[in-house]
């Protein structure tokens, strides 16, 4: 059901209000017919999840030419495995200039100019086995050449019989060599170096374990 309402900013959404699309409008004068701003909301019933989904990969780090080895495991919250339930997944990739996270905070790696697909791609549409599991190798896009760190994110959806889904994601980093040279600017990388000064950097080789 789709419905439109105009509400005062102090009003609360009534419990008996119908679900559907609502329009919230803001007025400086309550008597004015012209709204100064508006936004759309979708009101839906909250239904708690009845299934759980765990996503993992056998590899802590991806290597050049290696697929994303996905392991999905689903079950109902009362314990039974999600046998033969539909499972779908999308794959998204992006250049990762900070592949070591807090282990090398402030350090930059790789080439940020590498062009990769901007949209997530459908990569899995299958059913879980009798134990509620699925293992599948997912090839990375051809644009991933293995010349810069790349973050690969698999977003999976496990569906109930009625069509509702529970959604989870797992990510891994493609580390293209045994060691990579990182660069850390010795100035604020957001503001840039001060005018008429030398821009100074620190260089260090790091392994995928975050150790220099």
pLDDT bucket at 1, cuts 50 / 70 / 90: very low
The pLDDT of residue 5 is above 60: no
Using the Cα atoms of residue 86, residue 91, residue 92 and residue 97 in order, give the sign of their dihedral: positive
Alpha carbons within 13 A on the beta-carbon side of 29: 4
State the alpha helices, DSSP H only, in the chain.
none
pLDDT digits (tens, 9 = 90+) for 31-53: 777 877 888 877 766 667 789 99
* pLDDT, average across residues 98-127: 94
pTM of the model: 0.74
């Amino acid at each position: 059901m789709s419905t439109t309402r105009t509400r005062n900013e102090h009003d609360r959404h009534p419990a008996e209000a119908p679900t559907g699309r609502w329009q919230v409008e803001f007025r400086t004068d309550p008597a004015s017919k012209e709204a100064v701003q508006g936004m759309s909301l979708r009101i839906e019933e909250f239904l708690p999840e009845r299934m759980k989904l765990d996503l993992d990969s056998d590899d802590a780090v991806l290597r050049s030419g290696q697929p994303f080895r996905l392991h999905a495991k689903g079950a109902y919250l009362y314990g039974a495995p999600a046998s033969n339930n539909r499972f779908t997944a999308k794959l998204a990739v992006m250049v990762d200039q900070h592949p070591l996270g807090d282990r090398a905070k402030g350090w930059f790696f790789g080439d940020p100019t590498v062009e990769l697909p901007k949209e997530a791609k459908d990569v899995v549409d299958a059913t879980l086995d009798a134990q509620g599991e699925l293992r599948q190798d997912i090839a990375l896009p051809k644009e991933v050449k293995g010349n810069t760190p790349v973050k690969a994110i698999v977003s999976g959806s496990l569906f109930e019989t009625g069509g509702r889904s529970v959604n989870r994601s797992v990510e891994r980093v493609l580390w293209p060599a045994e060691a990579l040279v990182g660069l850390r600017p010795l100035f604020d990388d957001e503001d840039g170096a001060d005018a008429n000064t030398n821009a100074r950097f620190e260089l260090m080789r790091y392994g995928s374990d975050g150790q220099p």
